[in-house]
Amino acid sequence: MKKNINAIILAAGKGTRMKSEQPKVLHEILGKTLLGYVLDAVNKTDLIEKSFVIVGHQAEDVSKFVTENYKTASTVLQSPQLGTGHAVSMVCPELENFEGEILILCGDAPLITEETLKKFIEFHKNKKSDLTVMSTVYENPTNYGRIIRDGDNLTAIVEEKDASPAQKKIKEVNAGIYCLNWQKIKPVFSKLTNNNSQGEYYLTDIISWGVKCDFNINVYLLEDNEEVLGINSKADLAEATKLLNQKTINKHLENGVMIVDPVTTWISADTQIGSDTVIYPSVYVTGKNKIGKNCHIGPFAHIRGGVELGDNVKIGNFVEVKKSKIASNTNACHLTYIGDSEIGSDVNVGAGTITANYNHFTKAKSKTVIKNGASIGSNSVLVAPVEIGEQAVIGAGTVVTKNVENKALAVARVPMKIIENYVKS
């Protein structure tokens, strides 16, 4: 397939039911925003040339997120916010001369996968469709727009608040994802009306317009309805987090990772894990990470993103690692914080070690480097920026404030004093 496809992602809503000052699409699941999941799914199809993200509520924050993280995406402001149909019409000037397909989807549906989007686009093209709608089936379809058919033919999508009692019994619902032949469908957006209970311009009304114009309209039925779960509340967010985590854990189990207790283990979708690695209970992994083969993680470990572990690495109980690279055969087994660090192979990091990497006053984070074969004694503090040489030894309880050469011993302690007869009988 040629890359003559653009995407429009609807991300302007306030998300009132989230009861939050934060934009709904910037809420996170395991260290990644809802909008980030959607944009990544779109980009991973390798079919989309450019994405247009419609912003509205707290547009500045959402725009900043998009521009800082996605080179192939830009934002378009919808103000005022007059409905989903109005939102798409905001992109019409940008796409005036575009000839190809437009994929439309919601920025608050983080479980959608690139595989499903690929199949959806392929279905649209194979049908030579002018307009394709994705649908799915829910036993409880409350709050979803209903798919109205005449036989097998789609005739309309009716929103919940405008549906009749009979229509509300329909279990096939609009999944909120569309593929359009843009030049053919584009004129419809200037003809939408807001004659409905919400007083909004509905995107779903393009279906009834398409029927009147005798367009080739098709429905792609998605079997896995979990993929199009929309996030409208913190309860939805918690449910989506659980569903996504279970899918991620199942994938790792199939690939040879041993997860001792899937119920208490949380692993981000962007974390790679090698075979024969063991993840012990109550491990929490967020962000994007790469964990090698035959590692042992946890129990009660926290990996916070930007972490790369080589093979045979041990990250033990109550150890936190963030934005660090740790080479093979290195151990950090107990009660340790490793942040903004580069640690070589065959290093032992003793219990209670801290890489002090953050300057509270300047907000700067500095790097700690520990080279191959070094030994870090328990309860040491490594004040970054600092470098520990190969096979160097840091005595227990040492505060390291300057570089330590290869094979050197660094000890910095207050001499112990013993006061005899301190306790009076």
- Burial (CB count <10 Å: 0-12, 13-18, 19+), residue 39: buried
- Residue 327 falls inside a structural domain: yes
Residues 240 and 218 in one domain: no
Say what the pLDDT of residue 209 is. Answer: 93
Which of 176, 207, 228 lies at the terminal end of a domain, its last residue? 228
* Residue indicated by tokens 């329909």: 170
Sheet of 331-334: strand order equals 258-259, 278-279, 296-297, 314-317, 331-334, 348-349, 375-376, 393-394, 409-410
| Single pTM value for the model | 0.93
Residues 29 and 171 in one domain: yes
What percent of the chain has a predicted confidence (pLDDT) above 90? 94
Q: Is the pLDDT of residue 285 over 70?
A: yes
Say what the pLDDT of residue 197 is. Answer: 84
For 308-358, write each residue's pLDDT tens digit. 999 999 999 999 999 999 999 999 999 999 999 999 999 999 999 999 999
Residues 222 and 238 in one domain: no
Which of 228, 261, 293 lies at the terminal end of a domain, its last residue? 228
User: For the domain that residue 201 is a member of, what is the CATH number?
Assistant: 3.90.550.10
Tell me, yes or no, if 334 is annotated catalytic.
yes
Single-letter amino acid, residue 143: N
User: For the domain that residue 274 is a member of, what is the CATH number?
Assistant: 2.160.10.10
Residues 161 and 218 in one domain: yes
- Residue 274 falls inside a structural domain: yes
Q: What's the domain range around 98?
A: 5-228
Residues 355 and 244 in one domain: yes
Largest CA distance in the chain: 102
Rounded distance between C-alpha atoms, residue 305 and residue 324, angstroms: 9
Q: Is the pLDDT of residue 139 over 80?
A: yes
- Residue 334 falls inside a structural domain: yes
- Residue 106 falls inside a structural domain: yes
Which of 179, 203, 228 lies at the terminal end of a domain, its last residue? 228
Residues 243 and 103 in one domain: no
Q: Which one of 86, 124, 296, 334 is the catalytic residue?
A: 334
- Residue 419 falls inside a structural domain: no
